[in-house]
């Protein structure tokens, strides 16, 4: 990341405040009157009506030489992580697009743990806002790039390493997802993956359609056969810890449909628009993989990305086709827009054959999940029920919230097929997110503990939590909390 952090253990003195033109400050409900400019800030907050805990910032230009621009809030320190990150995003937005090289952060008069928690949220929001996103405007506005964040009042010495790793992974996920599908075809995507593999010393294998034919991966190929360009395939990346580890492998899997037209069951215009982001699951898997690499985790990690387009065309698969997946399961096609579970079926089967300790997949999979949860939560599914409370807690603690759905066997009734082992989906049911998960779990081999995240919060107007763009890259912060704080690996 191009942004550097400088920590100052003490709270800022008047001299410090006058030095920087852009400030974010957080106080308890009452501003300690011994703090510099406390009177100005308290008075200003009164005129803007602030009495109780703030959920939106107050803005004030200080009466010093450069008129330091301060966005601040007085908060109740019991705020949830989601609320705190949301406030942090708003505080950062008051500094617009950083026409400044430096920004200073002060969190004062909380205990050390709370100070660190609040500062972390602000740094996460600053890094999210300053990350460069793709733009194809012919006349680009040139502005100063943010280079340094000064954090006052934080005692720790870890330098918010994890926040930086998560931000880098998230920026990668968002920037890939925002690329239109003519700028991110499976072959361009693969080129980018190759570059990243080289930079990060990852091992890379790519199973192209010929290799997948050999593996009889008929579920994946049913989708990719509709493309005029034969560039689909499954990328497998591997990270090995520096010190030999006897720990089991974590496997991340992502749906990478670079464009989803719906296929033969063509989507109408208002549902097709935005479908270049149907690869966001793969981008989140890759971003998580990058963040874990940056943190030099002590367990092996694999990342499997199913890259394809879901096209219309004379060769495209059709409803009523019967195809055979790599594990021998025969599938009756019902709706060609349910392509995500098709490419994931073979990917999950191939990845879980290698007996990972834990497998997590990410996919913008179903409209049903979106209808059930909206865009502020993503759906969580697992074949190990005991993981459910841990998943929910990781969502709450990270501020990237997930909510579980049931996965009992009797749901399978709705996808029983007369002609094949299973139906791809059901035309009758509103519970497609659950049926999709029931469908996918068949392809998870060796009783591998498996978590499936249906990314209903991948795109939210105005951003989500600390993320300011509509494209959220949701899932990296959640996953790192689940893996590292909840000690899943
Ligand atoms: Zn689809």
Indicate if 355 and 458 belong to the same structural domain.
Answer: yes
Q: Do residues 82 and 60 share a domain?
A: yes
Segment 55-78 mean pLDDT: 94
Q: Answer yes or no: do 112 and 168 share one domain.
A: no
- The rounded Å distance from CA 367 to ligand 1 centre is 9
Which of 156, 177, 208 is at the close of a domain?
156
pLDDT digits (tens, 9 = 90+) for 416-444: 999 999 999 999 978 999 999 999 999 99
Mean pLDDT of 273-302: 98
Q: Note the pLDDT tens digit of each residue in 180-235.
A: 999 999 999 999 999 999 999 999 999 999 999 999 999 999 999 999 999 999 99
| Torsion over CA: 76, 78, 81, 82 (sign) | negative
Q: What is the pLDDT of residues 297-324, one digit of tens each?
A: 999 999 999 999 999 999 999 999 999 9
Active-site position among 44, 341, 438, 442: 341
Number of residues assigned to the chain: 489
> Same domain for 144 and 263?
no
Domain final residue, candidates 106, 138, 156: 156
Rounded distance from Cα 27 to ligand 1 centre (Å): 47
267 in active site:
yes
Ligand 1 centroid to 413 CA: how many Å?
23
What distance in Å separates the CA atoms of residue 351 and residue 443, rounded to the nearest whole number?
Answer: 10
CATH for 38: 3.40.220.10
Alpha-carbon distances of 291 from 1, 62, 162, 429, 451, rounded to whole Å: 12, 38, 8, 38, 19
Q: How far is the CA of 250 from the centre of ligand 1 (A)?
A: 27
Question: Each residue of 10-23: pLDDT tens digit?
Answer: 999 999 999 999 99
Cβ proximity of 12 and 152 under 8 Å: yes
Confidence of residue 50 (pLDDT cuts 50, 70, 90): low
Per-chain mean pLDDT for the chain: 96
In the reported structure, the alpha carbon of residue 281 is separated from the centroid of ligand 1 by a whole-number distance in angstroms of 13
Rounded distance from Cα 241 to ligand 1 centre (Å): 36
User: 359, 352 in Cβ contact below 8 A?
Assistant: yes
CA of 340 to the centre of ligand 1 (A): 6
| Residues around ligand 1, an ion, CB closer than 5 A | 260, 337, 339
Statement to judge: residues 134 and 44 lie in one domain: yes
- Same domain assignment for residues 323 and 182: yes
Domain end call among 123, 156, 189: 156
pLDDT-derived band at 98 (thresholds 50, 70, 90) equals: low
**What's the CA-to-centroid distance between 431 and ligand 1, angstroms?**
16
Lowest mean pLDDT, pick from 1-5, 105-109, 294-298, 406-410: 1-5
Region of 72 please: left (phi>0), alpha (psi -120 to 50) or beta: beta
Co-location of 98 and 74 in the same domain? yes
- Per-residue confidence (pLDDT) for residue 141, from 0 to 100: 72
For position 97, what pLDDT does the model report? 61
Residues 87 and 171 placed together within one structural domain of the fold: no
Q: What pTM value is reported for the model? A: 0.97
Number of domains the chain is built from? 2
**Among residues 19, 267, 294, 355, which one is catalytic?**
267
- Residue 423 known to be catalytic: no
């Amino acid at each position: 990341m191009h942004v550097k952090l400088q920590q100052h253990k003490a709270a800022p003195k008047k001299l410090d405040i006058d030095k920087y033109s852009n400030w974010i400050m957080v106080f308890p409900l009452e501003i300690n009157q011994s703090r510099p400019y406390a009177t100005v800030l308290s008075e200003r907050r009164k005129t803007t009506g602030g009495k109780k805990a703030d959920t939106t910032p107050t803005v004030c230009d200080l009466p010093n030489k450069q008129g330091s621009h301060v966005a601040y809030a007085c908060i109740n320190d019991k705020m949830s992580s989601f609320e705190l990150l949301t406030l942090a995003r708003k505080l950062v937005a008051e500094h617009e697009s950083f026409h400044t090289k430096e920004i200073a952060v002060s969190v004062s008069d909380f205990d050390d743990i709370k100070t660190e928690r609040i500062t972390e949220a602000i740094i996460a929001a600053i890094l999210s806002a300053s990350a460069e996103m793709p733009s194809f405007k012919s006349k680009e506005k040139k502005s100063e790039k943010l280079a340094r964040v000064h954090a006052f009042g934080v005692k720790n010495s870890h330098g918010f390493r994890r926040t930086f790793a998560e931000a880098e992974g998230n920026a990668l996920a968002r920037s890939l997802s925002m690329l239109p599908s003519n700028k991110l075809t499976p072959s361009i995507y693969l080129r980018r993956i190759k570059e990243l593999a080289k930079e990060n010393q990852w091992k890379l294998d790519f199973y192209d359609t010929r290799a997948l034919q050999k593996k009889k991966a008929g579920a994946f190929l049913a989708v990719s056969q509709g493309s005029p360009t034969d560039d689909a395939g499954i990328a497998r990346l591997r990270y090995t810890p520096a010190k030999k580890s006897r720990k089991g492998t974590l496997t991340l899997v992502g749906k990478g449909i670079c464009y989803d037209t719906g296929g033969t069951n063509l989507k109408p215009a208002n549902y097709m628009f935005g479908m270049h982001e149907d690869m966001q699951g793969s981008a989140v898997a890759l971003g998580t993989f990058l963040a874990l690499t940056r943190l030099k985790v002590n367990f092996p990690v694999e990342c499997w990305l199913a890259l394809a387009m879901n096209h219309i065309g004379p060769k495209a698969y059709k409803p009523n086709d019967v195809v055979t997946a790599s594990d021998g399961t025969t599938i009756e096609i019902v709706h060609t827009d349910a392509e995500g579970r098709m490419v994931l079926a073979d990917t999950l089967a191939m990845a879980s054959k290698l007996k990972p300790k834990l497998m997590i997949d990410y996919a913008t999979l179903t409209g049903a999940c979106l209808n059930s949860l909206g865009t502020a939560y993503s759906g969580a599914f697992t074949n190990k029920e005991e993981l459910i409370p841990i998943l929910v807690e990781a969502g709450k603690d990270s501020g990237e919230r997930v909510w579980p759905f049931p996965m009992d066997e009797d749901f399978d009734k709705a996808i029983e097929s007369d002609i094949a082992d299973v139906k791809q989906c059901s035309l009758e049911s509103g519970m497609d997110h659950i049926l999709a998960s029931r469908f996918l779990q068949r392809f998870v081999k060796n009783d591998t503990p498996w978590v499936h995240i249906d990314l209903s919060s991948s795109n939210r107007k105005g951003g989500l939590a600390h993320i300011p763009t509509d494209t959220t890259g949701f899932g990296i912060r959640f996953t790192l909390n689940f893996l590292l704080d909840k000690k899943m690996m």
